[in-house]
């Protein structure tokens, strides 16, 4: 630093730019400027990026729950309506042929009502996962594709979320009598003289999977919206993190 100060005196104002550059270099060599650790990219740090990711996921979760946790959030949606499990499609076809279409329709309606109710319990479960997720390359996720954050979150948390969410789905299916209506269908089918292979597909795990898929799809859509639409960045954090993306 003494050398730099001496050069300022000798060179005068004509050397200001050169001395400034050398001064910055000296600061870098002494550790005064960091380009690693927190990671800085275009003025955005890893900490900024991590905050933005968590806020984007939280906003997506709020939107997802708001869209799905209501009457016809599933049943009235061409994307998310839950039909009978694939293994039970033979049950549905057979029972409709023998005049039990109304019972099949009632089971499907109650299953969707159960899913609509269950996603209301997703917020604290998913919210905890968002808070707890470890982000080692937050900047990379910010600069990734339109749904890179959602995909990362899904890859890291899906199995644990399914396990945590399953009891809520089971309670909701019981509450809307979906479990009973579905069991009645299975029993009716298995009692038919033409049924040689008894069936009892797992309804709860199937609805859990469909509900989680719908939640992640909604979160992904909101991430894309935040990235592409400035009006969707309603907070200073989202504006800072995604404004230059």
Instruction: Let me know whether 20 and 130 are in one domain.
Output: no
Instruction: Let me know whether 135 and 229 are in one domain.
Output: yes
Between CA 115 and CA 171 the distance in angstroms is: 10
- How many CB atoms are closer than 10 A to CB 15? 13
Between CA 72 and CA 80 the distance in angstroms is: 10
In the prediction, which pLDDT does 20 show? 38
Instruction: Let me know whether 191 and 213 are in one domain.
Output: yes
Instruction: Let me know whether 28 and 94 are in one domain.
Output: no
Instruction: Say if CB 245 and CB 142 are below 8 A apart.
Output: yes
Instruction: Let me know whether 102 and 193 are in one domain.
Output: yes
Between CA 172 and CA 115 the distance in angstroms is: 7
Instruction: Let me know whether 77 and 124 are in one domain.
Output: yes
Q: Total structural domains in the chain?
A: 2
Domain extent for 76:
36-242
Instruction: Let me know whether 200 and 175 are in one domain.
Output: yes
**Which has the minimum average pLDDT: 122-126, 150-154, 163-167, 194-198?**
194-198
Q: Give me the helices (H) in 192-235, please.
A: 203-228
Instruction: Let me know whether 48 and 70 are in one domain.
Output: yes
**Average pLDDT of the segment spanning 51-57:** 94
Instruction: Let me know whether 76 and 183 are in one domain.
Output: yes
Residue 115, sorted as left (phi over 0), alpha (psi -120 to 50) or beta, turns out to be alpha
- The band of 180, judged by pLDDT with boundaries at 50, 70 and 90, is very high
Q: What is the pTM of this model?
A: 0.79
Model confidence pLDDT, tens digit, residues 65-102: 999 999 999 999 999 999 999 888 889 999 999 999 99
Model confidence pLDDT, tens digit, residues 114-136: 999 999 999 999 999 999 888 88
In the prediction, which pLDDT does 10 show? 34
Instruction: Let me know whether 25 and 113 are in one domain.
Output: no
């Amino acid at each position: 630093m003494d050398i730099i100060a001496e050069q300022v005196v000798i060179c005068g104002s004509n050397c200001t730019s050169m001395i400034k550059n050398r001064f910055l270099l000296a600061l870098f060599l002494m550790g005064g400027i960091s380009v690693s650790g927190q990671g800085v990219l275009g003025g955005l740090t890893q900490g900024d990026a991590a905050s933005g990711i968590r806020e984007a996921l939280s906003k997506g979760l709020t939107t997802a729950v708001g869209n799905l946790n209501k009457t016809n959030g599933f049943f009235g949606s061409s994307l998310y309506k839950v039909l009978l499990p694939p293994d039970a499609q033979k049950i549905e076809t057979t029972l409709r042929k023998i005049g039990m279409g109304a019972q099949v329709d009632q089971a499907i309606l109650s299953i969707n009502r159960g899913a609509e109710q269950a996603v209301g319990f997703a917020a604290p479960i998913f919210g905890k996962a968002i808070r707890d997720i470890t982000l080692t390359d937050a900047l990379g996720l910010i600069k990734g594709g339109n749904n890179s954050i959602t995909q990362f979150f899904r890859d890291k948390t899906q199995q644990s979320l399914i396990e945590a969410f399953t009891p809520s789905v089971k309670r909701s299916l019981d509450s809307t009598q979906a479990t009973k209506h579905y069991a009645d269908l299975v029993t009716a089918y298995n009692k038919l003289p033409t049924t040689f292979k008894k069936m009892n597909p797992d309804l709860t795990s199937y609805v859990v999977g469909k509900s989680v898929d719908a939640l992640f799809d909604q979160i992904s859509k909101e991430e894309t919206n935040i990235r592409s639409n400035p009006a969707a960045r309603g907070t200073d954090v989202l504006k800072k993190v995604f404004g230059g993306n």
